């Protein structure tokens, strides 16, 4: 018997002829994150158990769930003893749940459940409860080995980072944008972050907060590149020339153009925003159309149909929420009207835009921070 972690995925299994590509990418990501031995098995992966492995695996996109337990031979006596070994110290009832991909095994799943269950009843004196047991013993009968575990941990799900290309994701420091970046990692994208900031007395705190968010997101991607783009000169020009009610839209269009410049440098195929439809004035359909039209690249808003409560719950789940609610100075809210335009028209907005040189200079002056977790 050997203690291992059994990694399961779901969406990868639907990829047909491309399945091997997705599996190999997941295997590579697991090796890089855990520095552990990883073996590819049909429909699953076996990872060497050691300190810190489970915590790392929980945050790797592409993994549906983990089983932490024992690898055994295909001998029933060893399977039964392994089932006894993985039981927790305290419980009142149990259930055995077997899956059998090896159809040459002499017993079917129901027969294995009965035989192992009978053994556990005799050895522990505990009862079987098929509806609401305190503990479930999962048994997987494979071609050359069996896996037995009672500890099952949910993973991120989705696809492995790197299978869907590269994107640049705008990150403001609020709750929504880090969640949007995470959602794109979960869809297989490698994410580059871009933050636009003003140089004020509050800048050190804002910069530290954005770095903390980048570090948290890097736990899911392994490493992440963050562009800290100075926005103050552009913003001052916008304030000089643009009516207060239109400034938010012009700010965001300028940021979108600079995100495109970063994407060009980094080989990114799309721009990601944390927009949620009609959540704030800049996120009406009319304003979103005007803002996105400034991008040469496709703009992806993964939170567009989510409400605030859903976004907050996801932020808490991935660990960005507590960082996001720390006070910070948002450059987009600087010197805009109390009631900004909610139905902007592109033909009006373009009259206030002529910042190409300033935008190129700002991107060139960006501080690039590279955060590496594994």
- Please report which confidence band the pLDDT of residue 206 belongs to, taking 50, 70 and 90 as the band edges: confident
Tokens read off for 356: 């190409």
107-131: pLDDT as tens digits: 999 999 999 999 999 999 999 999 9
- pLDDT at residue number 13: 87
Identify whether the C-beta of residue 338 lies closer than 8 Å to the C-beta of residue 247. no
Identify whether the C-beta of residue 217 lies closer than 8 Å to the C-beta of residue 224. yes
Among 14-18, 97-101, 213-217, 263-267, which is the least confidently predicted range?
A: 14-18
Percentage of residues in the chain having pLDDT higher than 70 = 96
- pLDDT at residue number 159: 97
Q: What is the pLDDT of the chain when averaged over all its residues? A: 95
305-355: pLDDT as tens digits: 999 999 999 999 999 999 999 986 665 555 666 788 899 999 999 999 999
Q: Within 10 A of 319 (CB to CB), how many other CB atoms are there? A: 16
In whole angstroms, what separates CA 196 from the centre of its chain? 22
160-173: pLDDT as tens digits: 999 999 999 999 99
What does the angle CA 146 – CA 129 – CA 156 come to, to the nearest 5 degrees?
55
Segment 295-305 shows an average pLDDT of: 98
Identify whether the C-beta of residue 246 lies closer than 8 Å to the C-beta of residue 143. no
Q: Which residues does 143 contact at the CB level (< 8 Å), separation at least 6?
A: 42, 101, 102
Identify whether the C-beta of residue 150 lies closer than 8 Å to the C-beta of residue 82. no
For the chain, the domains span: 2-154, 166-372
Give the containing element (helix H, strand E) for 145: none
31-88: pLDDT as tens digits: 999 999 999 998 999 999 999 999 999 999 999 999 999 999 999 999 999 999 999 9
- pLDDT at residue number 227: 98
Tokens read off for 250: 């012009």
Segment 126-138 shows an average pLDDT of: 97
269-278: pLDDT as tens digits: 999 999 999 9
C-alpha–C-alpha distance, residues 45 and 282, integer Å = 45
Per-residue pLDDT at 202 exceeds 60? no
Query: What is the pTM assigned to this prediction?
Result: 0.94
Segment 173-200 shows an average pLDDT of: 95
- pLDDT at residue number 204: 80
Which CATH code of 3.60.15.10, 3.40.50.620, 3.40.1030.10, 3.40.430.10 fits the domain covering 166-372?
3.40.50.620
- pLDDT at residue number 59: 97
The dotted CATH code for 2-154 is 3.30.2130.30
């Amino acid at each position: 018997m050997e203690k291992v972690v059994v990694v399961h995925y779901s969406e990868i299994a639907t990829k047909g002829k491309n399945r091997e590509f997705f599996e190999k990418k997941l295997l590579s990501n697991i090796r890089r994150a855990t520095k552990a031995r990883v073996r590819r098995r049909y429909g699953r992966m076996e990872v060497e158990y050691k300190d810190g492995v489970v915590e790392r695996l929980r945050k790797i996109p592409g993994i549906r769930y983990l089983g932490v337990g024992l690898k055994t031979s295909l001998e029933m006596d060893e399977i039964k003893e392994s089932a006894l070994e993985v039981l927790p110290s305290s419980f009142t009832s149990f259930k055995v749940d077997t899956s059998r991909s090896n159809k040459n095994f002499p017993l079917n799943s129901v027969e294995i459940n009965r035989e192992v269950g009978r053994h556990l009843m005799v050895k522990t004196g505990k009862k079987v409860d098929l509806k609401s047991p305190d503990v479930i013993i999962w048994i997987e009968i494979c071609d050359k080995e069996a896996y037995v575990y009672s500890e099952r941990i949910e993973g991120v799900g989705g696809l492995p980072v790197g299978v869907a290309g590269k994107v640049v994701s705008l990150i403001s420091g609020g709750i929504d944008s880090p969640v949007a970046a995470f959602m794109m990692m979960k869809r297989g994208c490698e994410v580059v972050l871009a933050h636009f900031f003003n140089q004020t007395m509050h800048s050190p705190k804002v910069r530290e907060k954005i770095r903390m968010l980048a570090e948290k997101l890097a736990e899911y991607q392994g490493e992440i590149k963050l562009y800290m783009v100075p926005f103050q000169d552009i913003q001052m020009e916008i304030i000089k020339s643009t009516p207060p009610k239109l400034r938010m839209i012009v700010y965001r269009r300028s940021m979108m153009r600079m995100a495109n410049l970063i994407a060009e440098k980094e080989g990114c195929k799309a721009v990601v925003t944390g927009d949620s439809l009609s959540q704030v004035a800049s996120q009406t359909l009319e304003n979103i159309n005007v803002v996105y039209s400034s991008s040469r690249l496709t703009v992806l808003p993964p939170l567009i149909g989510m409400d605030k409560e859903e976004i907050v719950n996801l932020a808490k789940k991935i660990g960005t929420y507590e960082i996001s609610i720390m006070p910070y100075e948002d450059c987009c809210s600087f010197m805009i009207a109390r009631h900004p335009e909610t139905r902007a028209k592109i033909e009006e907005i373009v009259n206030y835009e002529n910042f190409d040189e300033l935008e190129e200079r700002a991107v060139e002056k960006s501080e690039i921070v590279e955060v590496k977790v594994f």
